Amino acid sequence: MLRVFIALGKQMPKEKVFIDDVQTVAKLLAKYGCTMVQGGAKIGLMGLAVQEFQKYSDDVVMIVPEAYKSDLVGANCKESYIVEGESDRMRITIHTCDMMIVLPGGSGTLAELAYYNETRKSGEHNSRIVVVNSKGFYNKLFKFHKHQIKHGLMKAEDCKFDVIKTAKDLEPILQEVITKKKELQMEEQLKKQKEASEKVEDKSKKPVKSSSKANEIKIKNQKNSSKKKDNKKNEDSLQKKSSANKSVKPKSSSSKKSKSVKNA
């Protein structure tokens, strides 16, 4: 099923609406059988998300930078990984997760949003990015994006993420991503089956070709063998003639000699 990374704050917010949205996201991920991937903190919104999710599922993966490895002490998760730094964690995330959900958070959360958006824009991944704009938390960020566009430093299409007002709006997007992944998996399965059947067909054809080639080689060897026999016969015949000629020559010379004696 889906592997979903959630980016959110390590601190506990003052507004209850932020807490409610985090809990709703956790419930939805569990409902659709997703794997929750996060940065490993047991406190703040990050800790709250894991606690809520684990009421329904234990499928939690934590990817923690070396500087924060103490966050894993006592952590209840299915898998955990300690990486060198934040950049390593984000790089692993874009290559292993199907979706990134960004909830309210601090500077680390903003850095993650910027990284995921930029790497999707550059084609390094095609994972869905969704920003949960609880109580308009990111409105000023979006206003700044408009400011950048106004000054020609950014294009509107550079923002590769979806924005939803509350966590409840996440459900249809989750359903869409799950359906798309199933379709891609089906296409991949059919592709593998086709490749496997083609290999079987190739194997069934190969013996015929090799047998034909073997027959050609056999016939060629027979011809060569026949030629060798003929050559051997010719050599033997020539040798016999040669030896016969040698045995005849002495007789002719002796007869000449006897004639010369008579004449004398």
How far is Cα 164 from Cα 169, in angstroms, rounded to an integer? 6
**Which residue type is seen at 165?**
K
Sign of torsion over alpha carbons 88, 19, 11, 135: positive
The helices-and-strands tally (H runs, E runs) of the chain is 6, 7
How far is Cα 79 from Cα 140, in angstroms, rounded to an integer? 36
Q: Are 101 and 138 in contact (CB under 8 A)?
A: no
pLDDT reported for residue 216? 67
pLDDT reported for residue 63? 94
pLDDT reported for residue 195? 86
CATH class of 3-194: alpha beta
Q: What are phi and psi of 106, to 5 degrees?
A: -95, -150
Domain boundaries, the chain: 3-194
> Which parts of the chain have pLDDT scores under 50?
248-264
pLDDT reported for residue 71? 83
Q: What is the pLDDT of residues 2-27, one digit of tens each?
A: 999 999 999 999 999 999 999 999 99
Structure tokens at 140: 């000023």
pLDDT reported for residue 242? 57
Q: What is the pTM of this model?
A: 0.74
pLDDT reported for residue 259? 45
pLDDT reported for residue 122? 95
Q: Could you tell me which of 105, 100, 89, 102 has the C-alpha nearest to residue 44?
A: 105
- Which residues pair with residue 99 across a beta bridge? 4, 128
